[in-house]
């Protein structure tokens, strides 16, 4: 499972097929045959990239979580005024947390983490931990430090992320409510930023 993955022309194609099958069938129900069919590649091609189903699942998680975290704190966002940047960051994470992909990957990783601890660690490192690290990096930029009075960036980043999760995430996880509306996502993001600024914005 720790073998290095060779990337090539059909690597993204295999990932997309695997993502589709894992979302539809779950980890246990997914088969290499199904993934190869959805990816429109041979099993030999699939195995040339990934030695087993676990490493493929790990690659899907890592790829999507890293893409989300990088997009949430992009260079364009860093250049915005601090309240706008924080809103953009919060909105990006709230939106992602509530997607079908994020919710299903969370469920699958929790379900499989006892049998495959590496999957749980990888999800945490590339998901929650990476998101927190991206926010910490933003909070330590000169512009943010000039406007925010933060002693512990780790704690502050964690607080912002926790406010972005809210009770709505649990309701979505347990199927209590359906898809969140853009108005709900906007409200959660704005309230999270308002609370964050009330605690950390420098006073004249």
| Domains defined for the chain, CATH in brackets | 59-200 (1.10.357.10)
Cβ(13)–Cβ(39) below 8 Å: yes
Can you give the pLDDT at residue 61? Answer: 83
Residues of the chain predicted below pLDDT 50: 1-4
Can you give the pLDDT at residue 69? Answer: 67
Q: Where are the alpha helices (DSSP H) in 2-152?
A: 11-29, 32-39, 43-49, 53-72, 75-78, 82-97, 100-112, 117-124, 130-139, 142-147
Can you give the pLDDT at residue 13? Answer: 92
Can you give the pLDDT at residue 28? Answer: 84
Nearest to 190 by CA among 89, 96, 100: 89
């Amino acid at each position: 499972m720790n073998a290095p993955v060779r990337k090539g022309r059909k690597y993204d194609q295999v990932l997309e097929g695997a993502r589709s099958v894992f979302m539809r069938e779950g980890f246990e129900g997914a088969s290499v045959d199904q993934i190869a069919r959805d990816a429109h590649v041979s099993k030999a091609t699939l195995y040339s990239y990934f030695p087993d189903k676990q490493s493929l699942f790990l690659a899907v998680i890592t790829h999507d979580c890293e893409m989300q975290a990088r997009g949430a704190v992009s260079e364009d966002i860093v250049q915005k005024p601090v309240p706008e940047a924080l809103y953009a960051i919060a909105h990006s994470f709230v939106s992602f947390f509530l997607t079908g992909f994020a919710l299903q990957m969370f469920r699958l990783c929790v379900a499989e983490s006892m049998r495959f601890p590496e999957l749980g660690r990888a999800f945490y490192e590339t998901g929650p931990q990476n998101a927190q690290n991206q926010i910490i990096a933003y909070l330590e930029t000169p512009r943010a430090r000039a406007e925010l009075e933060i002693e512990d960036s780790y704690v502050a980043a964690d607080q912002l992320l926790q406010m972005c999760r809210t009770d709505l995430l649990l309701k979505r996880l347990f199927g209590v409510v359906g898809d969140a509306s853009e108005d709900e996502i906007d409200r959660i993001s704005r309230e999270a930023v308002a609370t964050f600024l009330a605690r950390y914005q420098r006073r004249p």
